[in-house]
Amino acid sequence: MCGIAGLIDASRSASAPELERRARAMTDAIAYRGPDGSGVWQDTDAGVALAQRRLAIVDLTPTGAQPMISADGRWVISYNGEVYNAAAIAASAELAGVKFKGTSDTEVILESFAHRGIDRTLADMNGMFAIALWDRAERSLHLIRDRLGIKPLVFTANAQGLWFASELKALVAAGLKPEIDPASVASFLRFGYVPTPYSIFKGVTKVKSGEIVTIDASRNISHRQYWSVAEVATSGLMHPFTGSEAQAEAQLNDLLLDAVGGQMISDVPLGAFLSGGIDSSTVVALMVAAQRGPVRTFSIGFDVAGYDESRHAAAVAAHLRTEHHEMTVTAEDALAVVPQLAEMYDEPFADSSQIPTHLISKLTRRHVTVALSGDGGDELFAGYNRYALGYGLGGLAARSPMALRRGLAAAINATPEGLINAAARLLPSRLRAANPVDKLNKLAAVLPLDREAFYLRLVSQCPDPAALTNGVAEHPVGLQWQPPAGPDRFVEQMQLFDTATFLPDDILQKVDRASMAVSLEVRPPLLDHRVVEFAWRLPRRMRVHHGQSKWLLRRVLDRYVPRALVERPKMGFGIPLAEWLRGPLRAWAEELLDPKRLGGGLLNVPAVHELWAEHLSGRRNWAYAMWTVLMFEAWRRRWAENTTKPPRA
């Protein structure tokens, strides 16, 4: 795991020391991504420099250092990530004559690029990666991102040159001072993140999941998909799994066991996040089944009722006999993270679970350098509550009069939060939802909507971004995928949109920034592309069975963990955000909401203050919308005030 950066000086006038200085400044800005070493390679004739900060995981010796030059001298790589099947690639016939200097996956994939070509190498690679590959013969640069978008990669270009990096702050260190894109602000208010390929800055682009961006010698830029989850989904639905449920369970178990075992490759200590839910428990159970030594697990608990899953994690850990580490987080611990968020996330980001994600990363890093996570299970196996809503409520809403749906939504919105919580406590535990106010707020929001608006509202932080941005239009969301003809596919459409957008732009970005801030590598074995491709072949009844989500994944987990230890309502990795904004975070929030500074001209200040007043009064719960506004303002003050100058190559 590393941080990468580099540049192409269009004038080709910079000296070698100057190119090195500029490239090193970029990686110094993200030094926490790789505290174990740094390197720069430059070619003054081409005006190019590649740089890297190293977090040593496999091959801790200097033979794994980057940037790395291929044996034939043609290719230079700066690479962030891990390729778990490097040994299999090294054993291919075309590499039989290669004498590897070390044991790093970097050297293997570099020599494979040189001997087997880019497309064949990428087709074989199983891992997470962001790659900058310089072709010295063609004077072209290839920027490559892994299939699911686990690792980040951004770039920008103008008449002076091109810059790329793992994070935006490296571009800022290069002198990049662009304008904020108002459409990106509107999109951010909608989703709580800026959707790929856009960034918060005009002219700065995120490389898409499964994409190769090539910059040739004439600085023409081309984009090509080498893998597409939409194509995988279409193929899977057209060629579904036809075996029995027992056969599907056995095949998924074998796939996951191989994926988890492969991702346990490491020359440094390794562990796993464990919440006690289906996804993380499955990963940990398979780590134990892999029999590669003691398994270390990590969880955090909150001293706030309704938000603590630590006892469930401890029960699973005890059953699997892991070396379990646990920390109870107080409100003060969590609140102390808030002022750090704008530094940690150098693009506005507003998934409030960024706070506990950082805290568990910090705990884990005290003991290990690599952690496996359960990310991806909800998207692949239909685990989110919105899929149940889409499956059940979508059809019901379509058959119900609009007036009835609007009336029910209005009644829910008018019900005080305290009454909802009190009523929920009267229900039997098996019927009691975690965070009932949030659940009912989402229900009220989607009742009056058609299907497309239904999905968009469910994934929105702010239901009406235009009202907060003086009418600025959002970026197009690109939700145009149409599944093959057949039965109703609304749930599959939601899964596809989540996997293509919410997963890489929210979930994986959150984990990357929160973990890399403490130099921890996190690997998500459920997102092995073979698992993704198999999951899309499963009939819906093997994902959602008699209303139970993640049915086949649960069947696999049943082999290792008693159902009673993991069977409970889905909670999520949340914090009591609504209460904190009215209480201990109020002073911090109101400083950011100062009307003299708020938004820098990009926000409708009276509209924001109206939401804030409604939230403080308890009449409405605008916690998510307000958190999004506050995260934007905190980011803007740290990264964007008075940033108008172009970069200097």
Q: Is 645 helix (H, G, I), strand (E, B) or coil?
A: coil
Mark the ranges of the chain whose per-residue pLDDT is less than 70.
Answer: 1, 305, 392-402, 405, 426, 429-435, 438-439, 442, 445-448, 450, 478-479, 487, 569-573, 642-649
Over the Cα atoms of the chain, what is R_g?
24
| Residue 438: exposure state from Cβ atoms within 10 A (0-12, 13-18, ≥19) | buried
Q: What is the pLDDT of residues 426-443, one digit of tens each?
A: 677 655 666 677 667 767
The pLDDT score that the predictor gives to residue 282 is: 98
The position carrying tokens 């952690």 is 371
| Residue 562 DSSP code | -
- Token code pair at residue 33: 């991504």
546 CB contacts (<8 Å, ≥6 apart)? none
| Residue 324 DSSP code | E
Q: Which long-range contacts (CB under 8 A, 24 or more apart) does 52-55 make?
A: 52/2, 52/3, 52/4, 52/5, 52/27, 52/78, 52/79, 52/80, 53/2, 53/3, 53/4, 53/27, 53/28, 54/2, 55/1, 55/2, 55/369, 55/519, 55/521
| Residue 154: exposure state from Cβ atoms within 10 A (0-12, 13-18, ≥19) | buried
- What whole-number distance in Å separates Cα of residue 145 and Cα of residue 131? 6
Q: How far is Cα of residue 489 from the mean position of the Cα atoms in its chain? A: 25
Half-sphere exposure in the Cβ direction for 84 (13 Å, CA): 19
- Please name which of 575, 593, 604, 580 lies closest in space to residue 634, comparing C-alpha atoms: 593
Which residues on adjacent β-strands are paired with residue 6?
50, 164
Query: CA angle 187-578-629, nearest 5°?
Result: 30
The pLDDT score that the predictor gives to residue 434 is: 61
- What whole-number distance in Å separates Cα of residue 348 and Cα of residue 506? 11
The pLDDT score that the predictor gives to residue 420 is: 77
Which residues on adjacent β-strands are paired with residue 128?
82
Q: How far is Cα of residue 117 from the mean position of the Cα atoms in its chain? A: 29
- What whole-number distance in Å separates Cα of residue 474 and Cα of residue 477? 8
- Token code pair at residue 17: 């020391």
Domains of the chain plus CATH, in order, are: 2-227 (3.60.20.10), 240-381+502-566 (3.40.50.620), 576-649 (no CATH)
Q: What is the pLDDT of residues 593-617, one digit of tens each?
A: 999 999 999 999 999 999 999 999 9
